[in-house]
Chains A and B, each alone.
Chain A
């Protein structure tokens, strides 16, 4: 490893160009190296939608999706997937337009290329697009492909677009724009076309009992919630001009989401559609039936009210999610256990912090999740 030190460089380039993305900008000056993050563009809703779809694509639709743990928003690029130990990076650029020409696609690749020639090692380079013109692909049925599926003429234009754009960007030094680099880079790029609606992306997140999958409207609402949080990450802290040594430091800025929290969000939103009512979760029936008959209904109602309280208690947000995560993991790890056994496996320190639950209502809550998650 090169010994790295920081400089506040003699010049910090501060580009506000419209189609620029926040960049980890590497300036090689003598033996110093600095990573300077660029300012981001303001997103229009459709662009934001595409970015969220891109996130969900990384999370669920790739063979290596399981390895991705963090989604760093608007830092290295539009979106960068990161493994749990920050040692593997999936760099992603999204493009919302429905029919960008091959040349435009080429220009969009510039940020990926930028990262390609940087000192950091990115493992995958992905461009996620809302659509393409018919002149681009050899086989029109493929929605995920490499340049091998791009027609010769289109590839030339795409290449031109990329080279032109690289030349315009001052943060890419001219010596990096070589035929060899460009060719090697293009071989690495993975093209993904978004061809599904929002609800579909949400449905893929978690295997739920098919009977409780909610309507399109609810799924879209969940999608929008993720989108808004994702967009909100861009405003969390100022990262312009920030310098860092290694990818893991990107997490220090709180501009990331994790697969766990997204998964939990979805389960929570779907399972807690109907909290109050006469419905008894299947797994809870044993406990229910053993309870003295005249008090059963009251007990059920009390459990439901406790759950409502927990859902309303915005002051104990962290504790709720942690408990939820714990319950979810316990259920997934012990699919054969009944609710009583599961209850005993719950981390009591976490359970204790959730003041809204007591033993019975926690068992009720476990039942709700157990019945909802398809194992």
Chain B
């Protein structure tokens, strides 16, 4: 798979770049804020990633179009906010969520890994998948996955196993019986907590209650913040109910389709004199001898409707999770502000207690889910899978170490895992090397086809010698490589004469202004080709 071109823009301003090549591409500039990160983030955004654009860049105001070449086919992806359009040959597909996007990708472009999450097999979302081949400039951490939230570290391991074709993930040593007991205990605890804290079931805590406060300014601030979050929750809830209604509609359709497939039975004609049904009837009507659909077609349709329902289910899950996150935000907003009214204090204390209970309940829910998952896994996991998973991780870690040794033979650091432990986080050039090693090892061991994209690949001053060795090593891979870096004055033209490197120089861009009016024409052309009207 190869990134070909990227187009970012709207009717007023645009940026286009159409010369990504195979092998190593290094985007460089002599100064910061020349747009490297915007280009990289835009590529990732089109691939379904959660956006991490620089805050000054209002990415939702622009259309992002990416050209990818895969197996000789040109695939065009356009994304604006949550809407995607894909043009794959003559085929157009549109989505308004990543669940559908990833399913399309899985079906039409490339098989994606499937992992078990909350006891359901799911195709991994792009936000986790891209961590196989992408390191962003910000939010780098060596001890955990990026954007921890819905996905956890464990899911990334599962993703690796799935990529390597290993069926199941973790090795669970706990006894089935003790797991069951634990589940029982937790359920009991949850019940008790709910009984004790009736307020959690009370849905009528509104802000009218707060309006009694004298401190108007403080109150208004809260209100503003609350309003913001409330609106977000509202939008999410609206989306969720839409998804629910669409799901219902599809479910109904599924039932209806099944019933339509029954042919009505009609009586037949028989001669009353002799009882013979050997009577010819010439129908002027039956001009057509074929059925309108075959069993195979009908099966396919039923399957697709079922898949739609699955997508909506996933979407509903995702939205529910987001709503939970915002509701937590709402809670903490109310908590931070100090409001003096006694009544509010009383209420707040009550809430405080309840919040603890609430948090505990969420924790319990999480644990319960995990435990029941463990239980099923425990029952199905085989030793074979265990050894295979172990072997895969070992392979990856060994490859990482080999890579590291080839850059820095003097160091005594030895990687033990694909993540560092929480108390031992690499920083500075060590972190840079660690990320490079991981990207290299994933590609080498899993043999994936994705381009490897590293924003600011020599961050924190990788020495020139080490950089050279790292590049030589990473060039062993067949994957396309897109790196970015800021060059110091004395490094100017550093990559220009290197035959192995396709240097893309951003130095000429105006600082903080990568999108220009002169690119709009080309940008609109590209959008038009995809039948997208830019307003």
Which A residues are closer than 8 A to B by beta carbons? 209, 211-212, 221, 225, 229, 232-233, 237-238, 252, 254, 257-258, 261, 264-265, 268-269, 272-282, 285, 288-289, 296-298, 300-302, 305, 308-315, 317-318, 320-322, 371
Contact = CB atoms under 8 A, between A and B. Distances in A.
A234 to B, nearest CB: 13
29 contacts: A209-B90, A211-B90, A232-B289, A237-B280, A261-B288, A269-B294, A272-B293, A273-B297, A275-B301, A276-B308, A278-B93, A278-B100, A278-B104, A280-B93, A280-B94, A288-B94, A296-B94, A300-B94, A301-B246, A309-B257, A312-B257, A312-B260, A312-B293, A313-B260, A313-B292, A314-B262, A317-B291, A321-B288, A321-B290
A274 B304 contact: yes
B290 A225 contact: yes
A309 B104 contact: no
B191 interface: no
Interface in B383-440: none
A285 B92 contact: yes
Interface in B246-288: 246, 249-250, 253, 256-257, 260-264, 278, 280, 282-283, 285-288
Given A273-B300, A278-B100, A308-B253, A314 B291 contact: yes
Interface centre among B92, B257, B283 (most CB of A within 10 A): B92
B290 A261 contact: yes
A211 B92 contact: no
Interface SS of chain A: helix
A313 B293 CA distance: 9
Interface of B: 89-96, 100, 104, 242, 246, 249-250, 253, 256-257, 260-264, 278, 280, 282-283, 285-294, 296-298, 300-301, 304-305, 307-308, 531, 533
Contacts of B286: 254, 318
B260 A317 contact: no
B246 A229 contact: no
Nearest to B91: A279
B161 to A, nearest CB: 29
Contacts of A300: 94
A252 B90 CA distance: 45
Contact of A258 (B94, B261, B287): B287
B126 to A, nearest CB: 16
A161 to B, nearest CB: 35
Nearest to A320: B292
3 closest residue pairs by CB, A with B: A276-B304, A312-B260, A278-B93
A238 to B, nearest CB: 8
Nearest to A236: B289
A235 to B, nearest CB: 13
Contacts of B249: 301-302, 305
B201 to A, nearest CB: 34
A80 B92 CA distance: 44
A312 B94 contact: no
A254 B281 CA distance: 10
Given A278-B95, A301-B246, A257 B289 contact: yes
Contacts of A297: 94, 96
Contacts of A371: 90
A69 B9 CA distance: 56
A278 B88 CA distance: 12
Contacts of B308: 276, 301
Contacts of B293: 268, 272, 311-312, 314
B290 to A, nearest CB: 5
A275 B94 contact: no
A312 B287 contact: no
Contacts of A225: 290, 294
Nearest to B103: A278
B289 A311 contact: no
A371 B92 CA distance: 12
A231 to B, nearest CB: 11
B92 A279 contact: yes
Given A221-B296, A268-B292, A313-B260, 15 more contacts: A211-B91, A264-B288, A279-B93, A280-B93, A282-B90, A289-B533, A298-B246, A300-B94, A308-B305, A311-B301, A312-B260, A314-B262, A314-B293, A315-B264, A317-B291
